[in-house]
A and B are shown apart, each in its own frame.
Chain A
Amino acid sequence: MKDLKHLIFFEDLLLEANNKLIQQARQEGKICVAYTCENTPEPLLNLEGTFSARLRAPRTGSIDVATYYLTSFLCEYSRALLERAIEGGFNFADCIVTPDGCSMMNRCVENMELLHTMGKDNDRFFFEYMEIPMKSDDNGLNLYKLQCENHILKPLKEHYGIDVSDAAIRKAVAEHNRVCELIRAIGEFRKGPQPRITGYEFCVFNLATYVAPHYLLVDMLEETLEELKTREPDEKSPFRARVVVVGSEVDDTDFIKLIEESGAYVCADRYCYGSLPGRDPIVLTDDEDALTQICRQYMQRGQCPRYMNTEKMLGRRQYVADLAKEYGADGIIYQQMKFCDPWAYEKMLGSHILREDYGYPVLAVDRPYAIAGSGQMRTRVQAFVESIEIKKIQGGASNG
Chain B
Amino acid sequence: MAKEIGADRLGDFYVAGSKVRNRREWRGVQDTLYDYSRWLKIMMTLGKFMMKPRNVKAFFRYRWMANYLAVPMMVDRHTQGLRGEYLRMCHTEQDLIIDDVAKLLDNLFRGDRRIGNDTEFSKKVVLVDENEMTAVMMGFPMLKCLSRETPSTYVSVLLNQHAAEHYIDVAQEFGLAGDVCPMPEAEAGVSIDDDAPVLGACAIQCNTTCDGSLLGNGVISKRLELEDGVPVFQLAAPLRHREDDVQEYAAQEIRNAIAFVEKHTGVKWDWKEYFECAKRVNYATKCRQEWLDMNRTDYPQVFGSNLALYTETNYMAICGRVADFEKADRKLSKLAQQAYKKKMRAAKEYRHRAIVWGVQSHFYMDFLVWLLNCWGIVPLTDMLSMVSTKMIAEEDTPENREQAYYDMAWLTENMIMRNRTHGGYRVLLDELWQFTEEFNADMVILWEHICCKALDGMHGLFEDRARDLGINLVWVQHDLFDPRIINRQGVRDQINNYMRTVMREEPIDPSLEILPDEESW
Q: CB within 8 Å of B: which residues of A?
A: 68-71, 73-74, 78, 100, 102-104, 106-108, 110-111, 114-115, 129, 131, 133-135, 139-140, 142-143, 146-147, 150, 305-306, 308-310, 313, 336, 338-339, 341-342, 344-349, 351-352, 364, 366
SS class, residues of chain A in contact with chain B: helix
Contact (Cβ within 8 A) A346 B210: no
- Are A111 and B457 CB-contacts (below 8 A) given A139-B252, A310-B225, A345-B219? yes
Contact of B210 (CB < 8 Å), options: A103, A150, A347, A352 = A103
| Complex contact B458–A107 (CB within 8 A) | yes
Partner of A73, one of B212, B214, B216, B453: B453
CB pair A146–B245 under 8 Å, yes or no, is: yes
- Mostly helix, strand, loop or mixed at chain B's interface? helix
| Contact A111:B221 (CB < 8 A) given known A339-B179, A344-B179 | no
28 contacts between A and B (CB under 8 A): A68-B459, A71-B448, A71-B457, A100-B239, A102-B211, A104-B457, A107-B457, A110-B458, A114-B429, A131-B243, A134-B207, A134-B234, A135-B234, A143-B238, A143-B248, A147-B245, A305-B215, A308-B207, A308-B217, A308-B218, A309-B234, A336-B177, A339-B453, A344-B180, A345-B218, A346-B215, A349-B222, A351-B175
Q: Chain A residue with minimal CB distance to B251? A: A139
Q: Does B256 reach chain A (CB closer than 8 Å)?
A: yes
A75 to chain B, nearest CB (A): 8
A305→B238 CA distance, assembly (Å): 16
B214-251 interface code vs A (CB 8 A; 1 in, 0 out): 11111101100100000010101011100101101100
Give the complex CA separation of A139 and B234 in angstroms: 13
Q: Are A68 and B460 in contact (CB-based, < 8 A)?
A: yes
Please determine whether B456 and A73 come into contact, CB atoms closer than 8 angstroms.
yes
**Chain B contacts for A103, CB-based, 8 A:** 210-211, 421-422, 453-454, 457
Q: Give B168-193 as 1s and 0s: 1 = Cβ < 8 Å from A's Cβ atoms.
A: 00010011110111000000100000
Q: Which residue of A lies closest to B458 (CB)?
A: A107
- Please name all residues of chain A whose beta carbon is closer than 8 Å to the beta carbon of B245 when the two chains form the complex: 131, 146-147, 150
In the assembled complex, how far is the CB of residue A363 from the closest CB belonging to chain B, in whole angstroms?
11
Q: A309-B234, A339-B453 are in contact. Are A131 and B215 (CB under 8 A)?
A: no
Judged by a CB distance under 8 angstroms, whether B299 is at the interface is no
Asked if A131 and B239 sit within 8 Å, CB to CB, the answer is: yes
Residue ranges of B at the interface with A (Cβ–Cβ < 8 Å): 171, 174-177, 179-181, 188, 205, 207, 210-212, 214-219, 221-222, 225, 232, 234, 236, 238-240, 243, 245-246, 248-249, 252-253, 256, 421-422, 424-425, 429, 448, 450-451, 453-454, 456-461
Contacts of B453 in A (CB 8 A): 73-74, 102-104, 107, 339, 341
B203 shortest CB reach to chain A, Å: 11
In the complex formed, the residue of B with least CB distance to A338 is B179
Beta-carbon contact of A73 and B256 below 8 Å: no
A315 to chain B, nearest CB (A): 12
Question: B205: which A residues are within 8 A, CB to CB?
Answer: 308
| B456 and A344 contact, CB distance less than 8 A | no
Contacts of A147 in B (CB 8 A): 245
Cβ contacts under 8 Å, B225 to chain A: 310
A341 to B218, CA, bound (A): 13
Partner of B180, one of A133, A146, A341: A341
How far is it, in angstroms, between the C-alpha of A313 and the C-alpha of B454 when the chains are bound?
A: 24
The 8 closest A-B pairs by CB, nearest first: A107-B457, A69-B460, A345-B215, A344-B177, A341-B211, A134-B236, A143-B249, A71-B456
A114→B422 CA distance, assembly (Å): 17
| A103 vs B456: C-alpha distance when bound (angstroms) | 10
- With A71-B459, A339-B179, A344-B177 already in contact, the answer to whether A349 and B219 are too (CB < 8 A) is yes
